[in-house]
Structure 1
Amino acid sequence: IGGTFTDLILFNEKNGKLTAYKSLSTPSDPSSGVVNTINLSKIDTANISFFVHGGTTVINAITERKGVKTALITTLGFRDILGIMRGNRPDMYNLKPKKPTPFVERKLRFEVKERVTSEGKILTPLNLESLDEIIDICKKNKVESIAIQFMHSYLFTENEKKCEEYIKKRFPEVSITISSDITREWREFERANTAVLNAYVQPIVLKYFNNLEKKLNDLGINCGFTAMQSNGGTTSFNGAKRQPITLVESGPAAGVNGAVLVGNLTNKENIIYFDVGGTTTKCALIENGKPKVTTEYKLEWNRFNPGYPIRVPVTDLVEIGAGGGSIAWFDAGGSLKVGPQSAGADPGPASYNKGGTEPTITDAKLITGVINPKNFASGQFELKKELAEKAINKIALGLGVDLITAASSIVRVAEANMINALKLVSIQRGYDPRDFVLVAGGGGGPMHVCTLGKELGVSEIIIPPYPGYFSAWGMLATDQRSDFAITSLIRSEKIDINKIKSIFSKLEEDAYNYFTSNIDLDKNKINFEKRIDMRYLGQEHTVTITINERDFDIKNILQEFHLEHKKTYTFSLDNTSIEFVTFRLSASSNSPKPEIKELSSNYKLEDSIIEKREINFGEEGLHNATIFDRNKLPTGLEIDGPLVVEEDSTVTMVLPNQKLTVDSLGFLRIK
């Protein structure tokens, strides 16, 4: 469920057929968009055996500040932790940086007497009676959700649990989040902020999923419902209701999974994923068939804003405000800008004829001849070119150029932002794009990818079937997953292999308890991946090492750390003491994946030709290009650009001097 469209992918397990449907999102009630799209498919809902949901409910509630009134209860002396934040700042030359506003106002941040040492031992017992006054103040201020975060609770969770139980007895209607339920890692500010944001959105997500579940049941869908998480796995609806913060980047994470599936089907392990939706552009890097996952995620971070840290596993990606609905505008100096403001689904781009008047990327692509106004969004409605011209004319007047040049300028500015995002996940992290293929998804990705791929110098561009439904497509390839971690600082000279095994055994026990309580699953079908965050003594940053179960000894772990540190930072300190910091366990269960069958195409090239029309290919200029119907392209086809391939959800532009090949699976492959 995106900011502009709601996408549905159906996979028939009997015949291996994929079908896709798209409708406009309904921001006021996203569940209505889900129902509308299911009804559009006319599927017999009694035959649905698996349902997975991904969307923007959580991130929208946070970024639009539409969460509930929230309070924070913390250890005596730490009330201002949300305001103090961290001393580092993204703009190092700004001596008066402005810190972001905490999600809990100061009058609703409370302290209680309790203290646990950094070894997890009680220093000051918890004073539960002091909670009575706090509860009364919360009731008076109509607080709907409370976050509880105590110092070192990642080592000793009992005080947070006792506090939760006490509040529930006196204030049963309030939602409660305790930090140790979300993360067992250190860093008190990050844990506090994560707990607060979970509490901030929990009542909204609870209401949304309860409402959606009822509507799905009313439609006759009674299978187990799962929700996409930011870590690249799914959880049950009940798990999502308890820990909604794990859904913050669920849609983009699903798209990355889709790119992994594309890699598996095309025998490509190194992939740069590129997705342009209605509101944003997402980019991620996949190395050796595995996407990167981070716990250093920061919401609303930019070079002027330190953002809000969220200490849960999130698929590592870059997201910018450049999508089909991104608005073109002039800054105070008269420079042309595109985004991050978006026209969204309502009113949408000017050409939607829904009341929007601002020029957008979609309007620009319509003016340049790329988009067929009669074949947009599966032909559900026709774009109005005259409205796009009226909107783009504002930019033309500001630049002193004609409409085509103005529209082309909008596209070039947007693509400059997109190429910067692609370079951020590749070149700026030490990767050579020439060693990667570029996989494009989203309704806008295939329109831009050939230009961007040419500039990056990637080895190949791949566009899978149904690219406009890529996140939904990726969710079909997703396993149930949950991540567990605990911080335990141990120096290398004081640790043995039995200590490590003991820590991981406890994490495995937590994983078994989670899966058996949330999902009816055989414990023997759970797969584990073990990792350790490590650092040289005295360092602040860590390097994460994956543990090889078959070669599990201290010597190998330390050697692997030295190698990984040198790879990441260009040096190693072989004679320096090493600290084990955080132990991580990813638990997952394999879900059935769609088997994409080879196409048996009886079409000839001439069958796929729709028309010829003049199209602006940006720096490549105007060309009278042939327009092809993707559904009728014969497999094995090789043809030179310039050309355009149309399908229900998107348009693929192939530049002059690029060659398009259609493989046996129907993937478009461009070099």
Structure 2
Amino acid sequence: MSKVRIGVDIGGTFTDVVLWDIDAGETRNTKLLTTPDDPSRAVMDGIRHILNEHSIAPTDVEAVIHGTTLVANALIERKGVKTGLITTRGFRDVLEIGREWRYDLFDLAIEMPTPIAERAARAEITERLDADGNVLTPLALDELDDIAAAFQATDVQSIAVCLLHAYRNPAHELAIKNRLAEIAPDLSVSLSSVVSAEMGEYERSSTTVADAYVHPIFKRYVERLVDGLAEMAIGCDLLLVLSDGRTVRHDTATEFPIRLVQSGPAAGAQAAVLYGGVSGEHDLLCFDMGGTTAKACLIEHGEPQRSASFEVARVFRFAEGSGLPLQIPAIDMIEIGAGGGSIARIDRLGLIQVGPDSAGSDPGPVCYGKAGTEPTVTDADLILGYLDADSFLGGAMHLDKSAAIEAIRTKLADPLGISVEDAAWGIHETVTGNMAQAAAIHAIEKGLNIARFKMVPIGGAGPVHACSLAQKMGIDRLICPLGAGVASAIGMLGSPISFEFAQTNMARLDAVDWREIATLTDQLTDRGRELVRNAGVSVPDITVRYGAMMRYVGQGYEVEAPIEESAIRTGDSAAIKAVFEASYRQRFGRTEGMPPEVITWRVVVSGPRPPLLDAISGTENTSRTFDATQAKGSRAVWFGSDSGFIETPVFDRYGLQPATKLDGPSIIEEVESTLILPPDFTAEVDSARNLIISTE
């Protein structure tokens, strides 16, 4: 029998499941509503449904790859467990002091993120290391019994241990963990030297506390999934996608749960890389708009931009510095706006505001007919004719257009004294304009011109808004893939098994102890090889890449420089300086006349990328493929107050064969998403069955 792999992506509104038949080179997919009370239920229901629908035996499943919003939601909604912190004496308040940096200099009543570990649950212990990891004050381990007893008395379930300079010497943290295992074995323990072995007390403390906060609930969630797969007779390993788009086995993910905070969106960026590759484009803007949020990621030379830090649970959604900093490798994505379920209202200035809150999947938009009362982006898209009430999700879900009209009339149109259509158009233009502005600013901050990138719109709502968004940003070419609505799940199937380690060892480049660094990178490489090998990658297929976070002496921020292993082995400072200056020049357009220094060494150990490219290069969903280049019907679509409703042809996405050309206005429907092609846009199907869209 043919072997299959299954990718499952949980979003705030929908759970997407994609099945890849490896031998046939085909994919199949399905979409169902997320179950917020227990997300694992939708995962198991989706897997069971897609196997039954295509008569595939559970024993033929070779791998299940999963991306989840569980970690992010737990941090945003503060639904983790009560967490304590053990830190070096004198550093109890690091989480509240932070960097003493204000994200709004002129707000006298500025609201900062509340620390996850409240002050009463933060304990100090006597010990001290210097910046090189040498012991200045021995660890007073006898103090730990009283600390543990106090934590247990206040119902603390998980503990973060973050000692000063533990990234250089983890001995004290390990001693605390071993002692806690003896006196309080029921407590979950996260060590900063394991979770984030990098310099930066505030960021390292915040990351470790966040990891401890979600660890117990994430562990239980993964155990439910593993048990559920076993009950279905699926005997393969469960793999999970990390925030940097890499994939690991479930036991590794459970060891580092904070690494999954951006799990689903990161897989979307991996999908954009695949789709861009089959169309010969490698500089891309991935635009992922789902039911709850919209995110964007810039991809240069076929690689998503990555960051060594991340921020979550912001007090103000788009205010950098108002959230909890996480020192983890992540794909550099920006949340640029609202999703299909985002709620529209009139703000205090009498203008239409969209988001940030969302109706989610329960109750969902008003048109879902599940007792929702607040108008959303999806309701507006339905009224404007972008969505069809009878063909949503391929006809599996009927939308109530009259309810959407009534909600927008009573909540927006009548109070503003405008028509329902103008109010719906206002929602559409507001959310699209906000997204265009945020994406353009994100590119400018990276020193990039967004107009030179090609857009890959994915997510259930991405293709609906893509052309309007591109027009506002000056992007003249879009690559719209088949199956865009489930692209993140497809990206999971194409993500390589891989893991990244980072270790701070700060030194001027001309004073690096190369023997010590060779030993350090060898240790990280050996750990990575073991993780990747245990996930099923054969030894000859494992590759290793090295890098360093570097800066000029006296600077406060670093850039990453790729390093050759030979340069580490031979201590070739000149070669490393050259690649650092090349990276610095690319980012800032110049170099400085100061000596460079290395802050952190990074090692990425990877297996090969799965050969998914063939499955999305012209053979995808062949069971639905047919030749039907004529419109299957038409409907009235609103393209602005000047033109009003225009009778627009509707095409079946699965019937569009390579070389088919379409002129706007047109609507192209598939089960998971709908593409809106406005006037002045043209589309052509390429050999991989992507729709290549251009402006006239």
Structure 1 and Structure 2 fold alike (TM over 0.5): yes
Structure 1 residue 468: Cα displacement: 0.5
Correspondent of 1:616 among 635, 638, 645: 638
Work out the percentage of aligned pairs sharing the same amino acid: 36
- Pick from 530, 533, 550 the counterpart of residue 549 of structure 2: 533
Aligned partner of 1:589 in structure 2 is: 607
Instruction: Answer whether contact 1:620 1:656 (CA < 8 A) is retained.
Output: no
1:486 is paired with a residue whose SS is strand
Q: Does 1:669 align with 2:686?
A: no
* Structure 1 segment 383-398 matched on structure 2, within 5 A: 383-393=399-409, 394-398=411-415
CA contact under 8 A between 2:309 and 2:327: conserved in structure 1?
yes
Which deviates further from its counterpart, 40-49 or 282-291?
A: 40-49
- Residues 1:94 and 2:118 aligned together: no
SS across alignment from 2:19: strand
Retained in 1: the 8 A contact 2:346–2:352? yes
Shift in Å, 1:118 = 0.4
Which structure 2 residues correspond to residues 391-470 of structure 1 after superposition, within 5 A?
Answer: 391-393=407-409, 394-470=411-487
d(CA) in 2 for partners of 1:190, 1:31: 31
Alignment pair present for 1:644 and 2:644 = no
Partner of 1:221: 234
Relative to structure 2, which stretch is displaced further, 550-559 or 367-376?
A: 550-559
Which SS does the other structure have where 1:50 is aligned?
Answer: strand
Query: What is the aligned partner in structure 2 of residue 258 from structure 1?
Result: 271
Q: Deviation digits for residues 589-625 of structure 1, max 9, x if unmatched?
A: 114222234359762422xx11111101237733211
Q: Deviations over 1:236-259 (max 9, x none)?
A: 111121211000000000000000
- Displacement of 1:333 in angstroms is 2.4
Contact 1:497-1:554 within 8 A present in 2 as well: no
- Paired with 2:112 and 2:387, the residues of 1 have a C-alpha distance of 42
User: Alignment partner for residue 681 of structure 2, among 648, 654, 658?
Assistant: 658
Q: Read off the aligned partner of 2:640 and give its amino acid letter.
A: G
Matching residue of 2:597:
579
- CA 1:14 to 1:493, structure 2 compared with 1: closer, same or farther past 3 Å? closer
User: Equivalents in 1 of 2:646, 2:130: separation in Å?
Assistant: 71
Change (3 A) 1:107 1:612: same
Correspondence 1:78 to 2:91: yes
Aligned to 1:375: 391
AA of the residue aligned to 2:398: E
SS in 1 for 2:430: helix
Shift in Å, 1:276: 0.6
Structure 2 distance, partners of 1:497, 1:132, is 41
The alpha-carbon deviation at position 305 of structure 1 amounts to 4.9
Question: Tell me, what secondary structure is at the counterpart of 1:413?
Answer: helix
The alpha carbon displacement at 1:24 in A equals 0.4
After superposition, the C-alpha distances for 1:544-566 in whole angstroms (9 at most, x for unaligned) are: 11114577732122122223223
The answer as to 2:580 corresponding to 1:561 is yes
Residues 470-619 of structure 1 correspond to what in structure 2 (within 5 A)? 470-495=487-512, 500-516=517-533, 518-549=534-565, 553-574=572-593, 576-594=594-612, 595-596=614-615, 597-598=617-618, 603-606=627-630, 609-618=631-640
Structure 2 CA distance for aligned equivalents of residues 221 and 296 of structure 1? 36
Q: 1:247 aligns with which of 257, 260, 264?
A: 260
2: CA distance, partners of 1:602 / 1:347: 36
Q: Within 2, Cα distance between the matches of 1:567 and 1:237?
A: 37
* TM-score between both structures, scaled by the size of structure 2: 0.93
Which residue matches 1:143? 156
Shift of the 230–619 alpha-carbon distance from structure 1 to 2, 3 Å rule, reads: farther
Distance 1:549 1:268, change over 3 A: farther
- 2:510, 2:573 within 8 Å by CA — same for their partners in 1? no
- Show the counterpart of 1:336: 352
CA distance in 1, matches of 2:371, 2:244: 38
Structure 2 partner of 1:16:
25
Q: Tell me by how many angstroms 1:494 deviates.
A: 1.6
1:364-396: CA deviation from partner (whole Å, max 9, x where unpaired): 010011101111123222001111011111210
Which one-letter code corresponds to 2:235 in the other structure?
N
1-structure distance, mates of 2:45, 2:530: 37
User: Given residue 403 of structure 1, which amino acid in structure 2 is its aligned partner?
Assistant: V
User: Residues 191 and 421 (structure 1 numbering): CA distance in 2 closer, same or farther, change over 3 Å?
Assistant: same
Q: CA deviation at 1:265?
A: 1.0
Partners of 2:462 and 2:640 in 1: how far apart? Answer: 16
The answer as to whether partners of 1:299 and 1:309 remain within 8 angstroms in 2 is yes
Pick which of 40-49 and 174-183 moved more: 40-49
Stretches of structure 2 that go unaligned for 5 or more consecutive residues are 1-9
Aligned partner of 2:46 in structure 1 is: 37
Report the CA distance between 1:499 and its aligned residue.
Answer: 5.4
Equivalent residue for 1:267, pick from 273, 280, 295: 280
> What secondary structure does 2:16 align onto?
strand
* 1:19-39 CA distance string (max 9 Å, x none): 110110000000111122123
* Residue aligned with 1:49, SS: strand
Distance 1:428 1:155, change over 3 A: closer
| 8 Å contact kept, 2:337–2:431 | no
- Secondary structure of 1:200's counterpart equals helix
Residue 246 of structure 2 corresponds to which residue in structure 1? Answer: 233
1:424 to partner: Cα distance: 2.9
Distance 1:625 1:616 in 2: 9
Question: How far, CA to CA, are the matches of 1:427 and 1:143 in structure 2?
Answer: 44
How far did 1:191 drift? 0.9
Amino acid corresponding to residue 480 of structure 1 in structure 2: I
Structure 1 pair 188–648 and aligned structure 2 pair: CA distance change class (3 A): same
Letter of the structure 1 residue corresponding to residue 601 of structure 2: F
AA partner of residue 641 (structure 1): G
Q: 3-state SS of the aligned residue for 1:398?
A: helix
CA contact (8 A) 2:84 2:160 kept: yes
SS in 1 for 2:362: coil
Which residue, 158, 162, 165 being the options, matches 2:175? 162
Q: Which amino acid aligns with 1:668?
A: L
Q: Distance in 2 between matches of 1:275 and 1:232?
A: 15
State the alpha-carbon separation in 1 of the partners of residues 172 and 99 from structure 2: 25
Change (3 A) 1:244 1:551: closer
CA distance in 2, matches of 1:509, 1:546: 19
Residues 458 and 377 of structure 1: CA distance in aligned 2, closer, same or farther (over 3 Å): same
Tell me whether 1:357 sits opposite 2:366 in the alignment.
no
Looking at structure 1, the residues matched to 640 and 266 of structure 2 have their Cα atoms a distance apart, in angstroms, of: 31
Contact 1:620 1:655 in 2 (8 A): no
1:231 Cα deviation (Å)?
1.2
Secondary structure at 1:605 match in 2: coil
How far the C-alpha of 1:95 sits from its partner, in A, is 4.7
Q: Displacement, 1:321?
A: 4.6
> More displaced, 527-536 or 438-447?
527-536
2:649 counterpart residue number: 626
Q: Distance in 2 between matches of 1:114 and 1:512?
A: 34
CA gap 1:304/1:492 in 2 versus in 1, 3 angstroms: closer
Q: Secondary structure at the match of 2:646?
A: strand
C-alpha contact 1:476 1:593 (8 A) present in aligned 2: no
Q: How many residues align?
A: 667
SS of aligned partner of 2:338: coil
How do residues 119-134 of structure 1 correspond to structure 2 at under 5 angstroms?
A: 119-134=132-147
